[in-house]
Structure 1
Amino acid sequence: MLFTITTLVKIVPIVTLPTHWFHWRFLTLRYWPIWLGLGLMQIMAVLPFRWQLAIGGQAGRWISRIARRRRRIAAINLALCFPELTATQRAALLENHFAALGIGLFETAMAWWAPDKKLRGLARIEGAENLQQAMDRGKGVILLTGHFTTLELGARFITWQQPFHAMYRSHKNLLYEAVMRRERERRSRLPPLAHENLRGLLRAFRQGRAVWYAPDQNHGIRNSVFVPFFGVPTCTLTATTRLATLSGAAVVPYFPRRLAGNAGYEIAILPALDHFPSGDVVADTRRINELLEHHIRQAPEQYLWVHRRFKTRPPDSPRIYPL
């Protein structure tokens, strides 16, 4: 059947917010671009998958031309993490990364608004029994992953196996924050928890629930240690060890990956980490970084290289990123 604009208009819902989250300020001019973007995302969510890949890839390459600062950050990160590649190979990886970022916009739209019927045929989940075994312990689970371009869609696939709380940091734009919370909670079936809400996190674990967590962003030296990440001393959060120690929750890593062509996605759920926490917070944090690095290398273009991962440096070390 021909996919027409008329069909698109009929099936795309109007962007709405629950009334208890809505505020009249969301109708002011400053929020109009966000409303427009959200409307476009709902259109993006219903496009055929092959269109999403093609348009998203081209959009990402276009974004790389105008987002020069982020492109430079990503180029620096790739040079640090893949010194074994030639300059030509890293340039190709950089282009593929921005294509993955563009596709990630469509993946976020699908995660929030695509029906399960559309997504079921795209995902292959391996190791679901590992998550179930960890949940059966009754002490809760830390769903450990990293900041991949497939982050939102990968989490959507996990909700088919297990409801979870998402540990997150608030977005500065209030309208986007409201929509993001709404859609994440609607799909995960449990409310998100702020990363600083330790009491709420421990309560969730006592109730035997799962909490999604990605510890691989730079939030400063507080509650962090320097351990290698792709051979670079990297300021890395120790919250995974802290939460596991306080709660007794199992740490179950999972990693989403978009497959080549139109083959869809693979979500690998690994067994719960054994002997974790070990009593050595530095060794535990290094272990997590090594695990992340191993899975990033399987599809390096799909990791979030535009983040200033190495912003915080060891004492007396030179700055890596330009001001």
Structure 2
Amino acid sequence: MSTHANYFDRRFSLNLLHPKFWLSWVGIGILVLFSLLPACIRDPIARVLAKLVMKIAKKPIRVARANLTLCFPEYSAQKIDDLITRNVENFAMILLGQAELLLRGEAHLRKRVKVTGLEHVHQARAHKQPIIFVMPHVWGIDYAGLRLNIELPMVTMAKAHRNDLFNWFNNRMRSTHGGGVYMREAGIRALLSELKQDNSFFYLPDEDLGPDKSVFAPFLGTTKATLPVVGRLAKAGNAQVMPIQIGYNQKTRQFDLTVLPAIKPSTMQGKENEALALNKAVEQVILAYPEQYMWFLRVLKTRPEGEPDIYS
């Protein structure tokens, strides 16, 4: 890690050439090679790879099925299986191309990501306000972050990977356009400091951080533990809160990114109201491209008293 305890170190170190990382280098090399291929060649290969993932990723698929069963009780088992299949397919397509975010320039990124709704960003910037973009865990999140970083100064926050090489590679990629990458341990105070320096960032409100300080609120077909902190953060940092939708279009082989209007501050007054507003924003993003949400995450780990663990 860098001398600044809150940031990931993006500099290359000779330690990353240690033999323990050689297999990881092979994996990165494969991703680099795929990212150099045109999407019309890469996507069919990804579809084949997705079939292999379906056979070996048994545990993540069980988690995804549990999430989908609870979130969409009206779905048949067949419909859930179809959604999981499409989810894995989109994961493979986006993963195989992701190294392009590090290797290709701004012009390529503008071509790959089609943006609508930038007028909401421009309006906030005209009022000298930074933006907290609400974005749940979707496969195209890095494309969204880097594309918006072209439009305005941004930072991000990421969980450290156990593999130092992957830490270096991912965070070099995420800072391609100058944005800093905080470690999660930096906390909310670091983000508030960035807002006051006119830097925007993504907030991922769908992660289950446990019952401490969380509030249960309706979420799709169930309830979810949500941490209500964005409203206060936005108020303290004079920021607007805007949901973001992004999905990979297999026909155009582009990402469609939509910036939605800012959430009204009045709807986030009080913890319960804020949790409800955040969950509604997350629903809006997920339902735009339900096949591209990271259903493999344990986002419903914390359950109301008396409800069983859905993942056991």
Fold shared per TM-score above 0.5:
yes
Residue in 2 aligned with 1:194? 183
| Alignment partner of 1:150 out of 140, 145, 168 | 140
Q: Secondary structure at the match of 2:264?
A: coil
Contact 2:10 2:168 in 1 (8 A): no
Deviations 1:123-182 (A, max 9, x none): 221011111211233342112111111111222222222231012222222221122222
1:219 and 2:225 matched = no
After superposition, the Cα gap between the structure-2 partners of 1:143 and 1:19, relative to the gap in structure 1 and judged at 3 Å, is: closer
CA contact (8 A) 2:268 2:277 kept: no
Task: Give the drift of 1:96.
Answer: 0.6
Q: Which residue number corresponds to residue 164 of structure 2?
A: 174
Indicate the percent of aligned positions where both proteins have the same amino acid. Answer: 26
- Asked whether the 8 Å contact 1:204–1:210 carries over to 2, the reply is yes
Q: Could you say which residue in structure 1 is the equivalent of 2:226?
A: 236
**253, 258, 264: which is aligned to 2:243?**
253
Distance 2:51 2:220 in 1: 25
Ranges in structure 1 where 5+ consecutive residues have no aligned partner: 1-17
Residues 215-253 of structure 1: CA deviation (Å, up to 9, x unaligned): 211122233211121121211222322322332211122
Residue matched to 2:13? 22
User: Per the alignment, do residues 232 and 41 of structure 1 end up closer, same or farther by CA in structure 2, a change over 3 Å counting?
Assistant: same
Q: What is the RMSD computed on CA atoms of the aligned residues? A: 2.0
Secondary structure of the residue aligned to 2:176 is helix
Give the drift of 1:20.
4.3
Residue 197 of structure 2: which of 183, 207, 219 is its match? 207
Range moving further from structure 2, 300-309 or 43-52: 43-52
Give how far 1:199 is off.
3.2
Residue 34 in structure 1 maps to residue 11 in structure 2: no
Contact preservation (8 Å) 1:149, 1:304: yes
The answer on whether the counterparts of 1:50 and 1:262 sit within 8 Å (CA) in structure 2 is no
Question: Comparing 298-307 with 216-225, which one deviates more in the overlay?
Answer: 216-225
| One-letter amino acid matched to 2:95 | L
Secondary structure of the residue aligned to 2:202 is strand
| Conservation of the 8 A alpha-carbon contact between 1:134 and 1:252 | no
Task: Read off the aligned partner of 2:180 and give its amino acid letter.
Answer: P
Partner of 2:70: 80
1:321 maps to: 311
Q: Kindly provide the CA deviation profile for residues 51-104 of structure 1, in whole angstroms up to 9, marking residues without a partner as x.
A: 222222322231121010001111111111222222222111111111111112
CA shift, 1:290, in A, is 1.3
Contact 2:267 2:273 (C-alpha < 8 Å) held by counterparts: no
Change beyond 3 A, Cα 1:175–1:263: closer
Asked if 2 retains the 8 angstrom alpha-carbon contact of 1:245 and 1:277, the reply is no
Higher relative contact order (CA 8 A, sep 6+): 2
Structure 1 residues 250 and 277, CA, compared in 2 at 3 Å: closer, same or farther?
farther
Question: 2: CA distance between counterparts of 1:68 and 1:257?
Answer: 25
Amino acid at match of 1:162: L
Q: Which residue of structure 2 lines up, in the alignment, with residue 54 of structure 1?
A: 44
Secondary structure of 1:91's counterpart equals: helix
Q: Per the alignment, in what secondary structure is the counterpart of residue 162 of structure 1?
A: coil
Aligned residue runs from structure 1 range 124-163, under 5 A: 124-163=114-153
What is the identity, as a one-letter code, of the residue corresponding to 1:226? F
Q: Supply the distance in 1 between the matched residues of 2:170 and 2:266 (Cα, whole angstroms).
A: 32
In 2, the alpha carbon distance for the partners of 1:206 and 1:283 equals 25
Aligned counterparts of 1:109 and 1:19: Cα–Cα separation in 2: 16
Aligned match of 1:298: 288
On the 8 A contact 1:165/1:211 being kept in 2, the answer is yes
- Report the number of matched residues: 303
Q: Secondary structure in 1 aligned to 2:247?
A: strand
Aligned to 2:300: 310
**What's 2:57 paired with?**
67
1:112 is aligned to 102
- Structure-2 separation of matches of 1:114 and 1:292: 30
Give the Cα–Cα distance (whole angstroms) in 2 for the partners of residues 19 and 223 of structure 1: 33
What displacement does 1:277 show?
A: 6.3
Q: SS at 1:271's partner residue?
A: coil
Structure 1 CA distance for aligned equivalents of residues 264 and 10 of structure 2: 45
Whichever residue aligns with residue 122 of structure 2, its letter is Q
Amino acid at match of 1:193: Y
TM-score norm. by structure 2 comes to 0.90
Greater mean alpha carbon deviation, residues 86-95 or residues 132-141: 132-141
2: CA distance, partners of 1:99 / 1:227: 31
